[in-house]
Amino acid sequence: MRAGVQIMARVQRAHHIAHENDPALRRIFLALDVNGDGVLDRCQLSLFDCNQNGVFDPLEVGSGASTDANRDGILDECQAIGQTYCTSAGAGPGPPSTMTIIGSASVSEGDLTLTARLLPPQSLGYFLTSLTPGSTFPVSGSIGRLCVSGSVGRAVGGVLDSGTLGTFVAQVDLTAIPQPTGPVAAQPGETWHFQAWHRTTLAGQPTSDFTDAVRVTLQ
């Protein structure tokens, strides 16, 4: 009984968020049966709340609070690989932006996707990468901390626009990782470090910031 009460409390919270943010999302929330078991998802929220924050996962994706880059119905943060090793801790408005790596660490599979979330809407930026970690602060023209150093490759996956949801998604081409002297092929055993840089404002003035940084050792 207690578990049922907890689930319903989470459902009510998610329902409230959907109602506040977008009536259309609320209608979708009320009618979803994602797993097709004949029971409305709002009655079994625990099955669709992988990060256990009390919010229905599809609502998090729809609001930009989380991402599902491969569209498998599971939040990227719940199937992430690699380790966060550095936090930017910029002084920008809103919560700090974060990044996640999903897919496989296997070079042969070639399935590595970078996502960044909680970015300012309609913000331009790109992912950085290096074999060498770093921790540089302050950085000229930025309010955040740069967490890569050495030979830093820019625009992994191209220049990106965060859109209305404030997210970046980029597929990593492991056969051609950007580097200052030209793209290189990743090798098993290497540890690559990734971080996103993006435009933002502070007190109405244009500046830039960074997400936290994640490293992954390839196999």
pLDDT digits (tens, 9 = 90+) for 107-140: 999 999 999 989 999 999 999 999 999 999 999 9
Could you name the CATH architecture of 76-217?
A: Sandwich (2.60)
The answer to whether the CB of 190 falls within 8 A of the CB of 199 is no
How far are the Cα atoms of 54, 77, 86, 170 from residue 147, in angstroms, in the given order?
Answer: 32, 20, 6, 19
Provide CB contacts within 8 A for 204, sequence distance 6+. Answer: none
Q: What is the pLDDT of residue 49?
A: 72
How far are the Cα atoms of 112, 140, 158, 163 from residue 186, in angstroms, in the given order?
Answer: 12, 30, 18, 30
In the chain, where the domains are located: 2-63, 76-217
Spacing of C-alpha 107 from chain mean position: 21
Rounded CA-CA distance 193/143 in Å is 20
Q: What is the pLDDT of residue 37?
A: 63
pTM score, whole prediction: 0.72
Residue 18 pLDDT > 50, yes or no? no
Predicted confidence (pLDDT) per residue in 138-193, tens digit:
999 999 999 999 999 999 999 999 999 899 999 999 999 999 999 999 999 999 99
Q: What is the pLDDT of residue 190?
A: 97
